[in-house]
Amino acid sequence: MAEETPREYGQGTFGEAKVSKRKIPFRIRVSSFFDAALGSTRGFALLGIAFLITLALVMTGIQAGIALVNVLNDDASDANNFVNAFWTQLSRILAVGDGGTWGERIMGVLFWIINISISAGLIAYITAQFMALFTRLGRGLSPVFESKHTLILGWSPRVFPILRELAIAKSSERRPTVVIYSDVLRPEMNDAIANNCGDLGKLRVITRHGSMTNPTEVARANAGEAHSIIVLRADEAGDASVVTTVLAMRATIGDVHPPVVAEIEDEHIARTIASATDGLVQSVQSSDIIARVTAQAARQPGLASVILDLLDFSGNEIYVAEVPELAGKTYGDALLAFEKSTVIGIETADGKNILNPVPTQKIAAGSKVVVIAEDDSAIAFTGVSNVKPLVKAKASGAKQKPHHLLVIGWSSMGHAVLANLADYLATGSSIHILARKELVAPEELKGIKFGKITPTLSFVSGRIEEVVSVAEQRNYDEIIVLGYRSQMSPTDADAQTLLTMLQMKHIFDDDSNKAKPARIVAEILDSTLLPLARAASSDDLVVSDVLSALLISQLSQNPRIASVITDLFDADGAAIHLVPVDEFVAPGKSVTFGELVATGRGEKSSVIGYRHAAEATTNEGTGVVLNPDKSHTITARAGDGVVVIRNS
């Protein structure tokens, strides 16, 4: 019977696969050994000791061999004068000594070669270690030891306005520090900050590089000792990167951590994270903020500048302050109890914010007031003032006129803008949407409705004659220009927006058509293009995602005002309004701001500022003065307005 060949089985079935062993050459084995030894300091030290012992043995053998050769032990000075002279000069250059015999001279040269080789090797190794250390430090891989810092996790264009705002907000601190931790290389971050932020004063910006989804690496940012944490949304990665970053951060420092402001677009994700973290993580939706402010800007000239003033740190800000002297008094009393700050609401003892409550509402012990002030140090109780209201020159509450809007361009932003705006529009208002037919499918706009208004639609190819034809059909009050952010890159969308603004300016300047000039509210995605947008249409307001950066900065420093900002931006509840001054006082008459506040109190409104129409002729962002002193005198002029917060 023939001998059976042993059966072999494949790996993973009943046995291991038979693998033939490859013979590795000795040279490669030695090379691999040296690579492994040189890869660590301990290996290098052991290899160096072995090398020195080997050299000592070799040199001992060479010296013994020289001793056996008689000619090498003869006196070398017997050689001719030229050879001796040459050796003398060479020995001085090499510093090996004169050497009485040829053997000593040979040993001197060999020792010189060994010394040079060892020195060169040590210098090369030490240099390599220092270079590796400097490279590591340059990559931003070292841990952060600062405390009470503002930690920014992530990287996006919003980081630049955030840094500028934090530089202002923290200017009174002794050593204000912001730590930015992201997966962007540190040199790129440092260069971008230097090129886009300008002078940040004494604000220290520390950048660190690493994975934001690895808790071990995130721990290097020292999030547990931060004053507040900002999580930015990378535009290309979406909300997923924010969620994983928040989870990595919480895995590092636990469930109790500093306040976190996260930039999240999806409303459902935002609510889920807020609920899962018991409100410690607040979300900011960039597109929602832009949509709300755009809607406010389209309502009335000057409202957007009021919002910007409240959001940035360079002017007035919103604070929540405890004033024990107000306990037992009414909200109406509080309105006139501060000379240099303006009261707009109450925070109850359980943390609920009520904007513009009725004047008769009592302020209970433990409650706080929500105020607008230039700084928290300006919030000083000056006593309840008995300022009398003005005798009103004109009945308030005039019937709101219909508003006609032309929307040029379209994206998901359009739904949010018009949904926010529709609640403010009077009966008889209209909305007409003009979109490029190659960029927006008619089915996308079919059947849309905002409140009680069903928009009319026009799909065009982009020729100026088509735009003129639409603009001539009605006298529009505002024109909203939206970028095609869903259909093209931000750069191309902004270029299209700027082109549309130039088109509208040309149409309004051309007397050959019947288009009536109107205000333009334009959406610019890249805030660095704002100067170009101003040049394209200098009289019109332009908003951008810098608004979300301003809100993120505010909430990172004062998370308690989140509900206040949300309420002010909503159509429901309290909102900012610009009321004609002749509803308060006859034009030409001088009054104090305190008298305007007292008059507004009688109308269940909180007066917060004033708008000078004459100063708003060149740019609607000017002319608005928020929170003047109560004793400040104002001379009313035709077209001026009073900025109030009142319930819708």
Three-class SS of residue 519?
Answer: strand
511 and 489 belong to one structural domain: yes
- pLDDT over threshold 90, residue 316: no
Domain membership of residue 131 (yes or no) is yes
Of the two residues 345 and 289, the one the predictor is more confident about is 345
Round to whole Å and give the CA distance between 65 and 68.
5
Domain membership of residue 2 (yes or no) is no
Least confident of 16-30, 155-169, 172-186, 241-255: 16-30
What is residue 28's DSSP assignment?
Answer: H
pLDDT tens digits for range 158-171 = 899 899 999 988 88
Domain membership of residue 57 (yes or no) is yes
Confidence of residue 9 (pLDDT cuts 50, 70, 90): very low
Containing structural domain, residue 163: 150-284
pLDDT tens digits for range 259-279 = 899 988 888 888 888 888 887
Domain membership of residue 351 (yes or no) is no
> How many separate domains does the chain show?
3
CB 551 within 8 A of CB 565: yes
Domain membership of residue 526 (yes or no) is yes
Angle between helices 546-557 and 562-569 (to 10 degrees): 140
Residue 434 burial (CB < 10 Å; 0-12/13-18/19+)? buried
pLDDT at residue 359 in the model: 93
> Across 179-188, 249-258, 493-502, which has the greatest mean pLDDT?
179-188
- pLDDT over threshold 60, residue 16: no
Mean pLDDT of 23-36: 69
Give the closest residue to 410 by CA, choosing from 431, 430, 424, 391. 431
Mean pLDDT of 370-389: 90
Of the two residues 23 and 316, the one the predictor is more confident about is 316
412 and 518 belong to one structural domain: yes
Round to whole Å and give the CA distance between 298 and 480.
8
Neighbours of 216 (CB within 10 A): 11
179 and 132 belong to one structural domain: no
160 and 217 belong to one structural domain: yes
469 and 522 belong to one structural domain: yes
Give the closest residue to 583 by CA, choosing from 648, 644, 647. 644
Mean pLDDT of 142-150: 88
Q: Which residues contact 518 (CB under 8 A, 6 or more apart)?
A: 406, 475, 476, 477, 478, 479, 508
Among 245, 261, 284, the domain-final residue is 284
- pLDDT over threshold 90, residue 106: no
Token pair of 486, please? 């869903």
pLDDT at residue 592 in the model: 95
Mean pLDDT of 78-100: 71
Measured in whole angstroms, how far is the alpha carbon of residue 214 from the centre of its chain? 21
CB 230 within 8 A of CB 179: no
Share of the chain above pLDDT 70, in %: 87
Token pair of 302, please? 């000057």
Within 453-592, residue ranges assigned H as helices are: 464-471, 490-509, 530-536, 546-557, 562-569
Among 79, 113, 138, the domain-final residue is 138
Among 264, 284, 304, the domain-final residue is 284
Burial code (b: 16+ CB inside 10 Å, e: under 16) for 53-86 equals eeeeeeeeeeeeebeeeeebeeebeeeeeeeeee
162 and 264 belong to one structural domain: yes
Confidence of residue 309 (pLDDT cuts 50, 70, 90): confident
- pLDDT over threshold 50, residue 82: yes
The CA distances from residue 129 to 1, 32, 138, 186, in Å, are: 69, 20, 14, 21
**Beta bridge partner(s), residue 187:** none
Measured in whole angstroms, how far is the alpha carbon of residue 285 from the centre of its chain? 13
* Cα angle value 26/30/34 (rounded, 5°): 170
Phi, psi for residue 338 in degrees, rounded to 5: -135, 120
Mean pLDDT of the chain: 83
Round to whole Å and give the CA distance between 456 and 449.
10
- pLDDT over threshold 60, residue 397: no
Confidence of residue 67 (pLDDT cuts 50, 70, 90): confident
177 and 239 belong to one structural domain: yes
Token pair of 494, please? 């902004």
Domain membership of residue 641 (yes or no) is no
529 and 417 belong to one structural domain: yes
Domain membership of residue 56 (yes or no) is yes
Give the closest residue to 500 by CA, choosing from 478, 480, 476. 480
Least confident of 4-8, 272-276, 460-464, 601-605: 4-8
129 and 223 belong to one structural domain: no
Question: For residue 212, what is the domain's CATH number?
Answer: 3.40.50.720
Give the closest residue to 233 by CA, choosing from 273, 198, 193. 273
Please report where in the chains the tokens 């308060």 appear, as a residue.
584
pLDDT at residue 21 in the model: 58
pLDDT at residue 398 in the model: 57
122 and 180 belong to one structural domain: no
pLDDT tens digits for range 233-256 = 886 777 888 899 988 988 888 877
Confidence of residue 613 (pLDDT cuts 50, 70, 90): confident
pLDDT at residue 513 in the model: 82
Of the two residues 49 and 592, the one the predictor is more confident about is 592
Domain membership of residue 25 (yes or no) is no
155 and 276 belong to one structural domain: yes
Least confident of 91-105, 461-475, 630-644: 91-105
Confidence of residue 542 (pLDDT cuts 50, 70, 90): low
Of the two residues 173 and 68, the one the predictor is more confident about is 173
Mean pLDDT of 516-524: 84
- pLDDT over threshold 90, residue 178: yes
132 and 170 belong to one structural domain: no
- pLDDT over threshold 90, residue 633: yes
pLDDT at residue 157 in the model: 85
pLDDT at residue 51 in the model: 77
Share of the chain above pLDDT 90, in %: 22
pLDDT at residue 50 in the model: 80
- pLDDT over threshold 60, residue 14: no
